Amino acid sequence: MSFAERSAGLPTAAKLLLILTAFLLPIGIALTLVGSRGIVDANAALQGRTEGQARAAAVSIESLIARNALALRVAANGALAQRGGDACERARSSLSIAPAVVNSFELETPEGTPVCSNGRVGASRISMRRSPPMLSLPVPR
């Protein structure tokens, strides 16, 4: 039995539905493929933007930490360079004029013995004889 014989018994509406489906199905498949490729491209662009923002945030945090460490070093060196008087008070007054710098600190001798402190300082015992390490954050993919 041929297609013409089988379709002869169908109503006209069913014939039109079959013909339109045969023509529109390939177009729908092509549009689905194009749309999915566009979504993949958009996701890749968003991922690249997110990675760029993560790098910028890491650099900003690293700069903030470096600025605070530098301000603390300068204040401590200035306070300790002037013999006599209260070194902590001189460091505190030096840090009070610097904007956005942490005011909690502890001055120590090279051996690690605390000289004085201001604010709440934890027991970190970080050696300041060498430069601080670079801050690196993994960026998830």
pLDDT in tens, 89-105: 777 777 776 666 666 77
pLDDT in tens, 40-60: 999 999 999 999 999 999 989
Phi, psi dihedrals of residue 63, rounded to the nearest 5°: -65, -40
Tokens 């605390």 found at: 114
Instruction: Read off the pTM.
Output: 0.45
Please provide the average confidence, as pLDDT, over all residues in the chain: 77
Secondary structure of residue 118 in the 3-state scheme: strand
Residues 6+ apart with CB under 8 A from 11: none
Q: How many other C-beta atoms can be found within 10 angstroms of the C-beta atom of residue 79?
A: 22
What percent of the chain is predicted at pLDDT more than 70? 72
The per-residue pLDDT for 32 is 94
